[in-house]
Amino acid sequence: MKIPKFRFPDAILYEDSDFILINKPPFIATLEDRQDPINILATARMYEPGAQVCHRLDKETSGVLAIARHPEAYRHLSIQFENRTVTKIYHAVVDGIHNFDHLLVDRAILKQNDGMVKITREGKEAQTYITTLEAFKNHTLLECRPVTGRMHQIRIHLAWLKAPITGDDLYGGKPFFVSSVKRGFNLKKESEELPLIRRMALHAFSLEFALMNGHKYVAEAPYPKDFQALIHQLAENRR
């Protein structure tokens, strides 16, 4: 995958003297990545030398990411994460048609040595609320509200519901091809169709927490182009 061009100031959704909230692009690691010289933390520190990332998003996941400008701000938000007073909302396109209404998935998660996770009683507690936003022909747009913050939590909980995230090949998601929904879709001769979105269709849509002055703030991140294109194709070809 080609390394995306990334200008940190262009990604900023909100900033004050304590925090910077950005819309993280897909395909960029939050922290140092041996396979990629570019990561959010290093780029943030070119903009703000004392920057600390307050939480993590998977490399493929886009959306709201909170960065503290100084240690006191980092502690302030860390306490909120520990007390579970931060509200995180993710949007995911999943395979299949599903009707969830604030469904609570309460299944413990265990991290394995291969970098994946599994649901098992021996794991750490994990809860996610899931609601259907829109159903399409063979896919569904879901809102996911994780209560806990375990590794791959949303991905494994959705897979457990038999609603794997589209494009998430680690947990059973299938790639999305335009030809699967668009009638009369033709490729050029001797060309191979590529997936419309070359990652799992997961986006951190919003983050709500208390600023240093005590006021609650909600940051919302617009969909990136690939996620927008997926939703557009699903909506255009829902019948």
CA distances for 18 relative to 47, 191, 197, angstroms: 13, 50, 35
Active site residue 58: yes
* Secondary structure class of 92 (helix, strand, coil): strand
User: In whole angstroms, what is the distance from residue 114 CA to residue 103 CA?
Assistant: 29
Would you say the C-alpha torsion 204, 220, 36, 149 has a positive or negative sign? negative
Marked catalytic residue, from 10, 36, 58, 114: 58
* Residues 57, 66 contacting (CB under 8 angstroms): no
* Secondary structure class of 21 (helix, strand, coil): strand
Active site positions, annotated: 58
